[in-house]
Chain A
Amino acid sequence: MTTLYGLLGAALVGIGLFGLLVRTDPLLRILAFNLMGGGIFLVFGTVARRGAGAGFAADPVPQAIILTGIVVAFAATTLAVALVVRIAAADQARDGTTDAP
């Protein structure tokens, strides 16, 4: 059961990497980056689960790392999104002025 999620994580990393390399829309690339992140956290989750013991359902150290990792990945996502929105707005302003007679 645990291994299944580990293999799922491996597959998700592959899918995310593919999206990151093939899609050109930055927003879709950001999504692909997050898909990859999900797969990586599953790898950690599998490692944690494999290390269950001492009365814990999973090794708490990788779990703590995942929590930290999720928050950092989220912050990275917000920055990437802010940049994309900013570039789109800049293009819009530029085209708006050139469209005007």
Chain B
Amino acid sequence: MIADALIAAAILAVALATVAARGGFTAVALFIAYGLLLAFAWVRLGAMDVALTEAAIGAGLSGALLLGAASRVARHPVTTDRPPGRAMTAAIALGCGGVAVALAAAMLLLPDPAPTLAPSVAANLGTTGLGNPVAAVLMSFRGLDTLLESAVLVVAVIAAWSLAPEGGWGGVPGPAQPVVGDGPLALLARLLPPLGILVAVHVLWIGKDAPGGKFQAAAILAAMWMLAWMAGRASPPSVRSRSLRIAVAAGPTLFITVGLLGWLTQGAFLAYPPGLALPIIMVVEVALTASIAAALALLVLGPPERRA
């Protein structure tokens, strides 16, 4: 209980400091701390799957993305609106306080005992062959959401690339990275990726029965690749590269194909043939991991802006 209170107080303090921060860098640094602290909260809430994802994506990839952006925007801050005056700020603070109070009240008035689908998931877990209930929800009961989300990532990559500046189209995503010869970054970039790949494979594999799965594995893979890239040890291919595009599209394509085959053979989109659910799900998971990892890395890199 004391641990929870401390975690909650720390998260609250870091969030307030982020909103109040003067410069972009300070705010981003605080935000990374926020992501890490949230991961602790997830552990305390019994959601290990979420804790892993939050640490990898919320703190890791978002951190790398935002730090890079802060350094690129620092010389030229973009402001589109005028800041509100003192009275307006006070009014907004009052309004936001009201919203928070209403949310808190709604939270306290939720019915007890809480409605839950946990028994329903447990009763049907056997049909999937999976031991991890979250993976079963993601790949079977609510497989459509996961499928659509993998498609959302493809749209996001297309959207990011469409923002290529004049002369950047057809080039390589992301700003140029100097090769780092030595120092801690170079060392990390040499040592971590092989280890990270092993961890990712492990996380993907155990994800069928324990916390883990494609999102976590993909985030780790993307982070490893980003590390190598930042040290100048890896370079993305051009956005015209057919194999890069296939890598991004393969997972969702396979998933949709499996869904359509389910309709043709079993009469419902995403219905798995009895007994074959687990192998099909695992194949789709592997393909999705690769595609999601590629998409996440490409999204952190951003639009193509320089020649290969």
- Contact residues of A with B, CB < 8 Å? 1-19, 21-28, 30-32, 34-35, 38, 41-43, 45-61, 63-68, 70-72, 74-79, 81-92, 95
B46 within 8 Å of A by Cβ? yes
Q: Give the contacting residue for A88; candidates B77, B89, B115; CB below 8 A.
A: B77
Does B268 sit within 8 A of A, measured CB to CB?
no
The dominant DSSP class at the B interface is helix
In the complex, identify which listed stretch (B188-196, B224-232, B294-302) lies at the interface while the others stay far away.
B294-302
Query: In terms of DSSP, what is the predominant structure of the interface of chain A?
Result: helix
What is B's interface to A at a CB cutoff of 8 Å? 1, 4-5, 8, 11-12, 15-16, 18-19, 21, 24, 27-28, 31, 34-35, 38, 41-42, 44-47, 49-50, 53-54, 57-58, 61-62, 65-66, 69-70, 72-73, 75-84, 89, 92-93, 96-97, 99-101, 103-104, 107-108, 110, 114-119, 121-123, 133-134, 136-138, 141-142, 145-146, 149, 152-153, 156, 159-160, 163, 165, 213, 215, 292, 295-296, 299-300, 302-303
Whether B62 lies near A34 (C-beta < 8 A) is yes
Point out the residue from B8, B41, B83, B117 that lies within 8 Å of A24, measured CB to CB: B83
CB pair A77–B107 under 8 Å, yes or no, is: no
Minimum CB–CB distance from B240 to chain A (whole Å) comes to 19
Contacting pair B12 A8 (CB below 8 A): yes
Shortest CB–CB separation between residue B4 and chain A, in angstroms? Answer: 5
Cα distance A87–B18 in the bound complex, in angstroms: 23
Partner of B163, one of A13, A18, A46, A82: A82
Task: Take A10-B104, A13-B103, A27-B66 as given contacts and tell me if A84 and B133 are in contact as well, using a CB distance cutoff of 8 Å.
Answer: no
Are B72's CB and A85's CB within 8 A? Answer: yes
Q: Does B302 contact A6, Cβ atoms closer than 8 Å?
A: no
On whether the beta carbons of A53 and B119 are closer than 8 Å, the reply is yes
Q: Which B residues lie within 8 Å of A79 (CB)?
A: 156, 159-160, 299
CB distance from B200 to the nearest CB of A (A): 16
Query: In the complex, are the beta carbons of A38 and B159 less than 8 A apart?
Result: no
CB-based contact A5/B8 at 8 Å? yes
Minimum-distance CB pairs A-B, first 4: A14-B100, A51-B116, A57-B46, A10-B103
A49, B41: Cα distance in complex, Å: 12
Q: How far is the CA of A64 from the CA of B295 in the complex (A)?
A: 20
Q: Closest approach, in angstroms, between the C-beta of A98 and any C-beta of chain B? A: 13
Task: Point out the residues of chain B lying under 8 angstroms from A66, CB to CB.
Answer: 47, 50, 53
A67 touches B49 (CB 8 A): yes
User: In the complex, are the beta carbons of A78 and B57 less than 8 A apart?
Assistant: no
Contact B96 A17 (CB under 8 A): yes
Q: Report whether B97 and A24 are in contact in the complex, using a CB–CB cutoff of 8 Å.
A: no
Closest to B145 in A: A68
Q: Do the beta carbons of B16 and A15 come within 8 Å of each other?
A: yes
User: Are A28 and B83 neighbours in the complex by a CB distance under 8 Å?
Assistant: no
Cβ B46 vs Cβ A67 within 8 A = no
Q: How far apart are the CA atoms of A86 and B210 in the complex, in Å?
A: 41
Nearest-CB residue, chain B, relative to A57: B46
B34 CB, nearest partner CB in chain A, Å: 7
A8 touches B8 (CB 8 A): yes
List residues of chain A with CB within 8 A of the CB of B299: 74-75, 78-79
Are B107 and A10 neighbours in the complex by a CB distance under 8 Å? yes
Q: Which residue of A lies closest to B70 (CB)?
A: A27
